[in-house]
Structure 1
Amino acid sequence: MSDRHFAFWPEHATRHLPVPQTHLYRNVEVSAMRFPDKPFLIFYDTPLSFAQFHDETERIAGYLQRACGVKKGDRVLLDMQNSPQFMLAYYGILRADAVVVPLNPMNLAKELEHYASDSGARVAFVAQELLPRMGPLLGQALDHLIVATYSDYATAPTDLPVPDFVSAPRVALAQRGAVAWADMLAANLRPGPIEAGPDDLAVMPYTSGTTGLPKGCMHTHRTTMYNVAAGSVWWKANAGQVGMAILPLFHVTGMQAGMNGPLYTGSTIVVLPRWDRDACALCVQKHGVYGLALITAMVIDFVSNPRLPEYDLSSLRRIAGGGAAMPKAVAHALEHKLGLRYGEGYGMTETMAATHSNPPDAPKAQCLGVPLFDVDARVVDPATFQELPPGEVGEIVVHGPQVMLGYWNQPEASAQAFVEIDGKRFLRTGDLGTTDADGYFFFVDRLKRMINAAGFKVWPAEVEALLYQHPAVQEACIIAAMDPRRGETVKAVIVRKPGAAGEVSEQQIIDWSHEHMAAYKVPRIVEFVDSLPKSGTGKVMWRELQERERLKAT
């Protein structure tokens, strides 16, 4: 591993990070003792204090253990949008010494059935609006369902736009085995003492991967605690700051940046269930939000909001995230409009969020940053695993305290995910990247996404970044199209900026591309669309577009 990046290491951060060797729930207890009356959560202007959070998570754990028979190591499903109940259920499950299995609320019944059967969970928390999908599993895969109604925690007057699914009143439950959240709390059951330790399983998020059914990533209290502590130190977080939980909490980035980290530092978090650029800006103005964790797609939407100048965003000091390379044009717009440089990072579900981040005082544009505390990251030849010199493209591999144990009940997939180098166990990320002379890492593309155009290697992410510099392009996704002569050729699927529909044609995009990139990278086909398909975490679902294109050719 290179040590070149230490020349740019934050002055306030030591190179080695001591991490608390405790159960994650201890962070609830500590913050409740330190700041009992301080709001931990604000949900549509309704606060929930650290002391209330502590008390309710204890009651949730008591119900799980005494009413549902949950024991140490049992998996419990958690299927909700961002809400106080998501956070309370998460820590209630941990307090019961069980394992949180967070689910994407966009999942349908068949997908939920896989998560229940694969994890072996017999108990689930579900939001009221998602009950029609989860309900059929009750009495089959599941024995108990605890049903949450968001409006129970949104009782204060607010001028924020409240979605219908949040304001909806509680409905009566008819299914045997289903209990309302309020009734669970009213039972006032208390759990036994904490028995799990730092090396017991705590969270098992599922990753879709590129092939097969989703796999559960086994994370312990220790692997999860690492990024809780690391992010707090790296970004100089403290109890006086206000943040936002606007990234999906079921996803590891939102989970760590919007919930686990702030709970650790005693910060206050403003919770929004879904991305809404105006609601986000209004919350920043109203609550003096200090930092935002936003993926690239959200930043693009945020800075392109014509109403942005109407809001007082002067409290904002940091916008950080990842998910995809930040286009240079969007980074410039962010700096021009808000005076902020985007703090890009890199991580995976398998690493419980970040393994890399840009130093706060020395960030680089369109860059993954440098390896975090105690992380050994390398760019290697995917065939030989020999480390490559700066500038050469290879696979990014990582060894560090936040790397998962492996995939749940998937020994073969786990074995394939790791490689031993110099006596260390490295996770193969499947991402291609390079390093520069300073030891910073740069993303090139997914190992399996490369387009082979007449023998030339085209990396879609690189072409997308260039297209974002076109004044009419709001979003772009590059996929491979079949070509009888070249084998594959480059196709651009583009969302135009408002008002640009009659101003720019497909051929103009192609002509512009010839002026700004090498000929073999130029999209030979351009398709304009109203929107790009996105996952629950806001990432563009390029595989869906690629599959559509493949079906066209058959």
Structure 2
Amino acid sequence: MERLHHKVWPLGRPHDIPAPAHTLNDNLFRHAAATPDKAALVFYGRVTTYAQLGDQATRIAGWLQNRCGVQPGDRVGIQLQNSPQWVAAFYGIIRAGAVAVPINPMNLTDETDYIVEDAGIRTLFTAQDRERELEPLLAQNILDHVIVATYSDELPADPHENLPPEIAAPRATLPGHCTAWAEMIAANETPAPFTRTPQDLAVMPYTSGSTGRGKGCMHSHQTAIHAINSMVDWFGLGGEDVFFCVAPMFHVVGLQAGLNSAIQAGGTSVILPRWDREIAAHLIREFGVTAWPCVPTMIIDFLNRPTLRDDDLATLRVLWGGGIAMPEAVAEKLRRLTGLTFLEGYGMTETIAPTSANPPHLPKPQCAGIPVFNTDVAIVDPDTLTPMPQGETGEILISGPQVMLAYWNNDEANAESFVTLENQRFLRSGDLGYLDENGYIFIVDRLKRMINASGYKVWPTEVEAKLYHHPAIEEACIIASTDPYRGETVKAVAVLKPGATLTAKELSTWAHDHMAAYKVPRLLEIVTALPKSGSGKVLWRELQERENAKSKDTTQ
């Protein structure tokens, strides 16, 4: 396929890179051997060296094999907050030759139950604050082994103030059917030699389930490492970098852009379990963070701090991420403060992070960048799969080495999601976008999110980006509301800045000066916070379903 984006390719980078010939296990243990005393992880000031992390991963692998009966290819779950234990569990599972399945630690029992049963998980790593939610799974013999971590075991002697209660909690007494993390490490079990290949299954994250039940995305060492290389090589990341790992590790941004990129580069990861803008500012300054992969909602919140200082982000040299488009007004404030451009990218769980990224020397705002190494993107009519002319909107199709092998045990989804064009295998993203004359990708919206107002197509993401310029609005989400005349009308759900006020009429008057009339929000709902996923994405579907329920009630 024609690669228009080669005209704006990152300076000094090859267009394609070789297929990875090593594994995720090699990424850790080569640094444990070469730089054993270097800080791999920092948790509220406590350091774990590469040698210590490698030792823990080895002991965990031995326990999984010898005490839990884990065999190569078996799926093992991790349901923890960001922590040194999360990292050690992940690399311990990899060292055991098993497949790591990250699970959102905020899931309720039935949500965890679904993933555990669907993936065939028999062994799970969790934390002591989650043990009660797992009791039903143990009682039903769905799980055989649960290893329970205590986060405070990894804190320094003089920990940071205002820690989340579950992080600061001392070690608790566990029921007999659970194994304490400390017991597992103390057992010092020896694993069998590592025999997995780059082509073997390594990690299986689940989609968020925004279109139904989540699906397991099967990724090999090779697909995962190509995605990692597509960030490490693209942004020039190296062993001297200090990564800020606050994006949740159960999500591919935190797992790949944060944790695994840092390990591959031989850098240091400063870990924060959950987003806290004041603690984030303290850690960035104290440890000289240079690389921060995140979602725009974190930057929005960070820059809205009343205590914001000019030097809060002085050590940063690269800031990148995705999930949602970075509002232009926020990006401009970031540039004024730091001189940095937030380098937007685009990816999916199915591509275990990047499909595209902005070239550092030629970034474009409100843009997903250009396809990364070895990657092709096609824009097609979603009904006929006919290629769309350059500049016209269609469904985004993705072909590249980072695309998953398949959905786990889901032949129907695989048949629907993969197509062949010009003898290339492409993944249907379900996202709408277009390419400009230089191959930059502009995301319009989710295929199923379009609002039809009197026959006019309204893309919520576009309207949201405009609303961030309103002086009273801190965050906004656009949804559809039923309208007896227009069919659907545009509704804004907004969080206001402290002390600000806004009415629907005032918003509509302002919006008429900034967008086409059919896109103007005619309805406004003020809320204290927008619902968000664990990865920081606004849960627009939840707001839409709530609005649909209201409309249904009024028509009955």
TM-score bracket, normalised by the shorter chain, equals: over 0.9
Please list, as runs of the form range in 1=range in 2, the aligned pairs for 1:222-371 lying within 5 A after superposition.
Answer: 222-309=222-309, 311-371=311-371
Kept in 2, the 8 Å contact 1:44–1:162? The answer is no
Matched residues in 2 for 1:492 and 1:85: separation? 41
> What is the CA distance between 1:312 and its match in structure 2?
4.3
Matched residues in 2 for 1:35 and 1:538: separation? 34
Matched residues in 2 for 1:42 and 1:231: separation? 22
- CA offsets 1:28-81 (integer angstroms, 9 cap, x no match): 110111110001000010000000000010000000000000001111111000
- CA offsets 1:164-204 (integer angstroms, 9 cap, x no match): 2111001011232x100000001110100112211111111
Which residue is 2:155 aligned to? 154
Matched residues in 1 for 2:420 and 2:383: separation? 13
Matched residues in 2 for 1:165 and 1:113: separation? 22
Identity over aligned pairs, percent: 51
Amino acid across the alignment from 1:116: V
Kept in 1, the 8 Å contact 2:253–2:294? The answer is no
Which residue is 2:435 aligned to? 435
Which residue is 2:506 aligned to? 508
Which residue is 2:172 aligned to? 171
Q: Does 2:523 align with 1:525?
A: yes
Q: What secondary structure sits across from 1:516 in the alignment?
A: coil
Matched residues in 2 for 1:286 and 1:223: separation? 35
Please list, as runs of the form range in 1=range in 2, the aligned pairs for 1:394-409 lying within 5 A after superposition.
Answer: 394-409=394-409
Matched residues in 2 for 1:244 and 1:472: separation? 30
Q: Does 2:89 align with 1:89?
A: yes
Which residue is 2:122 aligned to? 122
Amino acid across the alignment from 1:336: R
Amino acid across the alignment from 2:409: N
Which residue is 2:536 aligned to? 538
Kept in 2, the 8 Å contact 1:2–1:439? The answer is no
Which residue is 1:413 aligned to? 413
> What is the CA distance between 1:310 and its match in structure 2?
6.5
Matched residues in 1 for 2:175 and 2:304: separation? 46
Matched residues in 2 for 1:477 and 1:145: separation? 39
Kept in 2, the 8 Å contact 1:282–1:311? The answer is no
Matched residues in 1 for 2:278 and 2:426: separation? 42
Long gaps (5+) in structure 1? none
Kept in 2, the 8 Å contact 1:281–1:311? The answer is no
- CA offsets 1:367-388 (integer angstroms, 9 cap, x no match): 0000000001111111222222
Matched residues in 1 for 2:186 and 2:298: separation? 39
Please list, as runs of the form range in 1=range in 2, the aligned pairs for 1:386-397 lying within 5 A after superposition.
Answer: 386-397=386-397
> What is the CA distance between 1:24 and its match in structure 2?
1.1
Matched residues in 1 for 2:163 and 2:310: separation? 20
Q: What secondary structure sits across from 1:323 in the alignment?
A: coil
> What is the CA distance between 1:438 and its match in structure 2?
1.4
Matched residues in 1 for 2:280 and 2:341: separation? 18
Which residue is 1:549 aligned to? 547
- CA offsets 1:414-444 (integer angstroms, 9 cap, x no match): 1101111001110000000011111100010
Which residue is 2:218 aligned to? 218
Amino acid across the alignment from 2:194: I
Kept in 2, the 8 Å contact 1:434–1:441? The answer is yes
> What is the CA distance between 1:506 and its match in structure 2?
2.1
Kept in 2, the 8 Å contact 1:199–1:221? The answer is yes
Q: Does 2:164 align with 1:184?
A: no
Matched residues in 1 for 2:304 and 2:442: separation? 25
Q: What secondary structure sits across from 1:61 in the alignment?
A: helix
Amino acid across the alignment from 1:487: G
Amino acid across the alignment from 2:155: A
Matched residues in 2 for 1:335 and 1:212: separation? 38
Matched residues in 2 for 1:37 and 1:18: separation? 30
Kept in 1, the 8 Å contact 2:4–2:437? The answer is yes
Q: What secondary structure sits across from 1:18 in the alignment?
A: coil
Which residue is 1:109 aligned to? 109
Comparing 167-176 and 33-42, the one that deviates more: 167-176
Amino acid across the alignment from 1:87: V
Amino acid across the alignment from 1:173: L
Amino acid across the alignment from 1:144: H
Kept in 2, the 8 Å contact 1:45–1:158? The answer is yes
Comparing 200-209 and 414-423, the one that deviates more: 200-209
Which residue is 1:423 aligned to? 423
Long gaps (5+) in structure 2? none
> What is the CA distance between 1:128 and its match in structure 2?
1.2
- CA offsets 1:228-275 (integer angstroms, 9 cap, x no match): 222111010110111111000000111011111110111001000001
Q: What secondary structure sits across from 1:218 in the alignment?
A: strand
Kept in 2, the 8 Å contact 1:146–1:181? The answer is yes
Kept in 2, the 8 Å contact 1:77–1:121? The answer is yes
Comparing 181-190 and 200-209, the one that deviates more: 200-209
> What is the CA distance between 1:161 and its match in structure 2?
3.6
Q: What secondary structure sits across from 1:116 in the alignment?
A: helix
Which residue is 1:46 aligned to? 46
> What is the CA distance between 1:460 and its match in structure 2?
0.5
Which residue is 1:143 aligned to? 144
> What is the CA distance between 1:350 and its match in structure 2?
0.4
Matched residues in 2 for 1:390 and 1:275: separation? 39
Q: What secondary structure sits across from 1:215 in the alignment?
A: coil
Amino acid across the alignment from 1:374: N
Kept in 1, the 8 Å contact 2:495–2:529? The answer is yes
TM-score where L is the length of structure 2: 0.97
Comparing 273-282 and 134-143, the one that deviates more: 134-143
CA RMSD of superposed structures (Å): 1.2
Comparing 128-137 and 325-334, the one that deviates more: 128-137
Distance 1:143 1:405, change over 3 A: same
Distance 1:312 1:551, change over 3 A: closer
Q: What secondary structure sits across from 1:498 in the alignment?
A: coil
Amino acid across the alignment from 2:157: A
Which residue is 1:21 aligned to? 21
> What is the CA distance between 1:11 and its match in structure 2?
1.4
Kept in 2, the 8 Å contact 1:449–1:460? The answer is yes
> What is the CA distance between 1:313 and its match in structure 2?
2.8
> What is the CA distance between 1:280 and its match in structure 2?
1.0
Matched residues in 2 for 1:92 and 1:375: separation? 31
Amino acid across the alignment from 1:154: L
Kept in 1, the 8 Å contact 2:3–2:376? The answer is no
Matched residues in 2 for 1:66 and 1:3: separation? 50
Kept in 2, the 8 Å contact 1:352–1:403? The answer is yes
TM-score where L is the length of structure 1: 0.98
Amino acid across the alignment from 1:194: F
Comparing 244-253 and 134-143, the one that deviates more: 134-143
Comparing 187-196 and 158-167, the one that deviates more: 158-167
> What is the CA distance between 1:516 and its match in structure 2?
1.0
Kept in 2, the 8 Å contact 1:223–1:402? The answer is yes
> What is the CA distance between 1:162 and its match in structure 2?
2.1
Which residue is 1:195 aligned to? 195
Amino acid across the alignment from 1:121: I
Amino acid across the alignment from 1:332: E
- CA offsets 1:338-389 (integer angstroms, 9 cap, x no match): 2211100000000000010000111000000000000011111112222222
Matched residues in 1 for 2:209 and 2:427: separation? 14
Kept in 2, the 8 Å contact 1:160–1:279? The answer is no
